[in-house]
Chain A
Amino acid sequence: MNFKKIGVIGGGTMGQGIAEMLAAKGLDVLLVEETTDKLNHAYSMIETSLDKQLEKWAITKAEKKLILSKIHKVTHFAELGTCDMVIETISEDLDAKRQVFKQLDQVCPSNIILASNTSTLSLTEIAGSTKYPERVIGMHFIYPVAKINLVEIIRGLKTSEATFEETKHFVEEVVDKHGIMVYESPGFVTSRIICLMINEALHVLGEGVASAEDIDDAMRIGYQFQYGPLEMADRFGLDSILAALERMFREFGELKYRPSFVLKKMVRAGSLGVKTGEGFFKYNKDGDRV
């Protein structure tokens, strides 16, 4: 497959990041959201992200213009019929994802790969809503997409060898990232390990062992993490962490996955991290710590 035009469903944090990264690699992107408002918001967030890169001299004005010109706003699934691949990035809700894949299955020719950026859900279940489950695969990008050169490629039970090979080629040759192959299991590799670390940091915080600042310093400085576990949680979104932990707790049935009560309290209080301006730390609207 000659990958030229890629559909990206969902204009949230991951959708924005993936769309921007693909456009920067020279691919045409059809970005899909339910409403024009949401679409315009996603587009303006991508613009903001490019402006920040411009300030850091990562790109030029001409490159910013070129990247934006590659991203096309779409509100109807029907327009995805001409895409060479579609990547779904909506929120981690199995039923909603199944609904999206069912629709995609009808719009896209049967040889087109349908990928999900899910971080915890079962690819087999998602693929179950389609007529051609062999072309459904997981492609889990890590935030921030432009900077992190790792993609988990997840095979569902019915994912074909050809689909896997094509996806691996796409990840390594077209978008130039490192792909690791993962067999389906809740949380795969990355989310399973990182969510547990975040959860443990929350226990440490809840038990009053150390302050949030010091816990983050310990891991950031001590083990060379870019962000400490609490700031990481703020950046992923505390609601997403909670959902991932609850799902793993349910699937594995092991106590170590039980979400910390601190996390539950924060989510109930609506302190979700960067996206609400406050989690364990405070953030401005550009997402920088204040």
Chain B
Amino acid sequence: MKLLVINAGSSSLKYQLYDMTDESVLAKGLVERIGMDSSILTHKPTGKEEVTEVSEILEHTTAIRKVLEKLTDKEHGVLESVEEIQAVGHRVVHGGEAFKGSALVTSEVKAEIRRLFDLAPLHNPPAILGINAAEKNMPGVPQVVAFDTAFHQTMEEKVYLYPIPKVLYKKHRVRRYGAHGTSHQYVSKVAADYLNRPIEDLKIITCHIGNGASMTAVQGGVSTDTSMGLTPLEGLMMGTRSGDLDPAVVTFVMNKEELSLSEANSMLNKHSGLLAISGSSSDMRDITDGMAEGDPNSTLAFEMYEYRLRKYIGSYAAAMNGVDVIVFTAGVGENSAIVREKVCENLTYLGVEIDPELNKVRSGDPRRISTPNSKVEVLVIPTNEELMIARDTYRIVQENQ
């Protein structure tokens, strides 16, 4: 079965075409600047030259039509006809409490995703645009939605509730939802496979650290706690997001600086984190470069980032009463040897011991960086959310046939 995985943003659309007989990627690409007269489509068929096309793409239906044209193009295409695509999988950011896993798209499912616009005003609306656009271009082809929050729906009430008036949960569903679920689920599964141990027996801490960053405690294969909350602002220090702070800081600063709601929101989401402390960059590569050159602000930013990451690992080890595996993934987790080194350096009380040489290895494959003596397996596993969505789509479509 060939299927298309789509990740629709408000003005962009990423896609990957899979052949599920061997899970190979036939082509992938990206449409940027949707809604403008100079939209850019970048199409990369596996084993062939990448092509770029600039044209006017005003909305998502046209974007998908253009993608399908490229996929069936005589020169750059990988398909004879569009009919070969037998299913479409979509990434959706927020599944609220309604979706505990991926789901076949029906009118009820779409209505539910719409109801969740309130909780994810920036991210859920484009997902609906993507689903409608795929329906128009490929009528009758089954579609599946995979949610960033679904994996975390296994959290217990004592974990997901905030200690604030319960009426806020009843009225507005204020609670912890988490994010990056597809990635946490994928890397925890790959970790168990890599170690050749049943996931049911493992206590895994997965660190998805990229531009956004979150950590999940995975026990017995299910998410038992995760660092992001109602929104992706909570938890770890990130590129431009603050992560955890005293909630009173917000009202205090709003009062002192006469900030509006949107100014306070923007301060915490776009002007905080590594960017705020370093004063120069939100990118970990710049921060570690700055640290190597002896820049005190970059050094402080790095130290805070590492310290907060390490504290969370400690708290999740406590939450699960132990940890067997620590997984690093996403941009920073996969590529920054120094972040991994510094975090693990002070986890010796857990019995963590990493091999400096193995830690330095750069590779696109899952790998172990801990020593044979280490009581905790430390792994680096490149994440692959698209593949996870493709697998869910494949499974759900087959079950429904």
Contact = CB atoms under 8 A, between A and B. Distances in A.
Contacts of A59: 266
Interface in A1-15: 2
Contact of B58 (A2, A26, A56, A147): A2
Contacts of B266: 57-60
Interface string A29-46: 000000000000000000
A56 B256 CA distance: 12
Interface stretch (B64-72, B107-115, B123-131, B257-265): B257-265
A59 B267 CA distance: 8
Interface in B225-279: 240, 257, 259-260, 262-264, 266-267, 270-271
Contact of B263 (A2, A58, A60): A58
B263 A56 contact: yes
A56 B270 contact: no
Contact of A57 (B35, B58, B259): B259
For chain A, what secondary structure do more than half of its interface residues adopt (helix, strand, loop), or is it mixed? loop
Contacts of B263: 53, 56-58
A175 to B, nearest CB: 15
Interface residues of A, number: 9
B262 A58 contact: yes
Nearest to B263: A58
Nearest to A26: B35
Interface string B67-87: 000000000000000000000
Contacts of A56: 257, 259, 263, 267
Interface string B35-65: 1000000000000000000000010000000
A67 to B, nearest CB: 14
B260 A60 contact: no
Interface size grouping (class) on chain B: 10 to 19
With most chain A CB atoms within 10 A of its CB, the pick from B240, B267, B271 is B271
A49 to B, nearest CB: 14
Contacts of B35: 26
B375 to A, nearest CB: 44
A60 B271 contact: yes
A32 to B, nearest CB: 22
Contacts of B267: 56-58
Nearest to A53: B263
With most chain B CB atoms within 10 A of its CB, the pick from A53, A58, A147 is A58
B260 A57 contact: no
A60 B264 CA distance: 13
A60 B273 CA distance: 14
Contacts of A58: 260, 262-263, 266-267
Contacts of B259: 56-57
Contacts of B260: 58, 147
Nearest to A62: B270
Nearest to A55: B257
A58 B265 CA distance: 8
B352 to A, nearest CB: 37
Nearest to B37: A4
B58 A60 contact: no
A26 B263 CA distance: 18
B249 to A, nearest CB: 13
Contacts of B257: 56
Nearest to B271: A57
A56 B264 CA distance: 8
Interface in A46-68: 53, 56-60
A57 B259 CA distance: 9
Which 7 pairs across A and B sit closest by C-beta, in order of nearness?
A57-B267, A57-B271, A58-B263, A56-B263, A60-B270, A58-B266, A57-B266
24 contacts: A2-B58, A26-B35, A53-B263, A56-B257, A56-B259, A56-B263, A56-B267, A57-B259, A57-B263, A57-B264, A57-B266, A57-B267, A57-B270, A57-B271, A58-B260, A58-B262, A58-B263, A58-B266, A59-B266, A60-B240, A60-B266, A60-B270, A60-B271, A147-B260
Given A57-B264, A57-B266, A60-B266, 10 more contacts: A26-B35, A56-B267, A57-B259, A57-B271, A58-B260, A58-B262, A58-B263, A58-B266, A60-B270, A60-B271
